[in-house]
Amino acid sequence: MGGIGEIGVLDASRRYYNTPSAIARQLFYFPTECGDYQLSERYDFLDTSPVAKRESHRNFMLLYNDAGGMEIFNDGRRALLDAGQIALIDCRKSHRYKALRPSRMIFLHFDGANTGAFFEQIIAAHGGRWTLTVPAGGHVRSDLLRIFDALGHPSAIHPASMTEPQLSQTIYRILCELLLPPRAAGQTLDQDVIARAIQFILDHLFEPIAVGDVAAHVSLSASHFSRLFRSRTGYSPHEYIVLRRIDEAKSLLHTTALSVKEIAFRVGYHSEVNFISSFTAKTGVSPAAFRRSRM
Question: What pTM was estimated for this model as a whole?
Answer: 0.72
Query: Which fold, 14-179?
Result: Jelly Rolls (2.60.120)
Single out the residue of 190, 258, 195, 202 nearest to residue 228, CA to CA: 190
Rounded to a whole number of angstroms, the distance between the first and last alpha carbons of the chain is: 67
In this predicted structure, what is the pLDDT of residue 293? 80
Q: Where along the chain do its domains lie?
A: 14-179, 186-295
In this predicted structure, what is the pLDDT of residue 135? 79
Beta carbons within 8 Å of 146's beta carbon, 6+ residues apart: 160, 162, 170
In this predicted structure, what is the pLDDT of residue 233? 80
In this predicted structure, what is the pLDDT of residue 96? 96
Q: What is the mean pLDDT, run by run of 10 residues, along the chain of 295 residues?
A: 76 94 94 96 94 92 97 95 96 96 97 93 89 87 95 75 93 92 57 86 90 92 89 85 93 92 93 95 93 75
In this predicted structure, what is the pLDDT of residue 163? 93
CATH superfamily name and code, 186-295: Homeodomain-like (1.10.10.60)
